[in-house]
Structure 1
Amino acid sequence: MEQTLITGSLLHDLLRCDHRVALDLHSEDWGVGEAEVSDHPLWTGPVHEYEHIIQGLIAENPGSVDLRRVDPASRQARTLLAIDALAPVIVGGEIAADDLLGRPILLLQEDDGYVPGEVSSSDAITRVPSMFEGVTLALHCDILERNDLLAWPGGYLVGECSIGRVDLHKAVDDGNTTLLDGYADALESARDIIDDVVVTRSARAPECWMCHWRNLCGPDVKDRDDLTQLDTVDRGTRDALVGTFPTVARLAAADIEGFVRGSATDFSQIDAKRLRELHGLAVRFVESNPRIIGSRDALQRMPLGP
């Protein structure tokens, strides 16, 4: 059986929707409709939007190598040759290690090693990297490190007029989560999904319109009365609540004050104000949707929290 390799595109899809990754890998029940999704997770527009930035780097660094038009079958070998030659900039290379496959837009030579780079359409110095960018950079750093080629644990965002250094160990939120933490979590989830040892759930999200599974997931979300039917409820919020409130109807019928602890609640990263807001959304949703059988008053009420 051919090994499934973990790529930047796979991790990008996973951060948006783990269920899509699971369906892509394990389901034969293809949905109707095609989605045009960029091959590179960070490039949301045509390549030519960034071409002048890439050409500027090449012009400023004699000896740079552009491998984007090289036969894909020989791209890894050509990348290693460019690395051996200490090419200052390698564009469109391919690197691999174990179950990881990386196609960094840029590899930048520093000291005796390399760091990955991503092209940014905005100010690369002042902008905080997104988790998508951080996970992609971390994947490429991981591969370089496994090949003893990593100069330092991070990379660069290269903008039109600036270059920003990205430290993977730097916290990106109030919980001190680092980009490296995000990568480690995504990598673990990806391997669990590939090994088919984890159950994922469909959800409703803004990006669903461009997914080729939308005609399969849409009805499933309604049939399960999934919490993501509620406005502002994303997968993270749903997953925090689903063990106690598996459906919108159950949330609407609950006495949520039993789960409130002052300004906090029994649910991770959901405070009392937010829980009451979600309960109100659920009540209004149930009352306005006749397809949910039974009125709110007829639904079984949840027990008080512990």
Structure 2
Amino acid sequence: MDLHILDHKLRVTSISKNGLVNFTHPLIKLIFLRNRTRCKFFSLTETPENYTVVLDEEGFKELEPSEHLKVEGSIWLPLNVVSNGNASSSSQAVGVTKIAKSVIAPLAQQHVSVFMLSTYQTDFILVKEKDLSVVIRTLEEEFNIYREFEGESVPVSVFVPAALQPTVHPVLIPQNQFCVMSLDPETLPSIATTLIDVLFYSSRFPADLLFTSSSGELWRMVRIGGQPLGFDECGIVAQISQPLADSDISAYYISTFSFDHALVSYLFIVINDRYSCQPCFSLMPTSGFHSHQNHTQCHNSDSKMPLQQTVASLLCALVW
């Protein structure tokens, strides 16, 4: 297997719900007018709490400083696992499940915080730039590692040391059902009006808007964390993805500025729904933009079912 360090330096930001109107122009430009911006990586995720925007340095320049904009201080680098054709793939699992044991778990053991962005076609593992040497050292035996530079993939050599046991986080499971699919960026203009309506008028979010699943498969979302997770703790993605991988259960994983979310097939949800629906929207165009995050920091909550116990009895996720 090959691990590619993509040629993007990313910022993780959050726009408050009531402040979205101040960013209408730059967001429409970044999403629909790609020929008018140099941004090559863009991801937008709406949750009940806020809007998480992950974008490269060129895209970040489009966002004016504002009291409604929060910016995580680190520079993040996106990693992407690519099959070289020699690895066996008896498992039909998709999403973060494919890389739970080979990437997510080893990084958690080395106390590397990751921000996870699953999409229909691939999974982006975001790591802090300052942790790159630890990432390379940790994964070099499992992967051929390459770093993109001016369009070329250059083999990476190793350097420098490592880093520490995950905390148990509570989870919440809203009643929403999700479809996961891919959209060619070239078709964006044909649904621009619909997407703008969803992005900027989410209070009118229709139950059947955008798409229906051609396969009929629906997904449920698990929100990880009883309070905002932060960006420094490690092992949160591993706690969710490893049990799923052990059972060969597919899952998509989306980190946001405040919480992490996992999407698991509706068929694997086997606990009673006790939470009301909330609008959640994730936009991740395949060529040039994407959307999500991974956190690290947890707090036990006696009032919520412990994460590991919950994973054993259900499992689900969030995103399209």
Provide TM-score, normalisation by structure 2. 0.19
Q: Which has the higher strand share?
A: 2
Q: Which of structures 1 and 2 has the larger relative contact order (alpha carbons within 8 angstroms, sep 6+)?
A: 2
Q: Which has the higher helix share?
A: 1
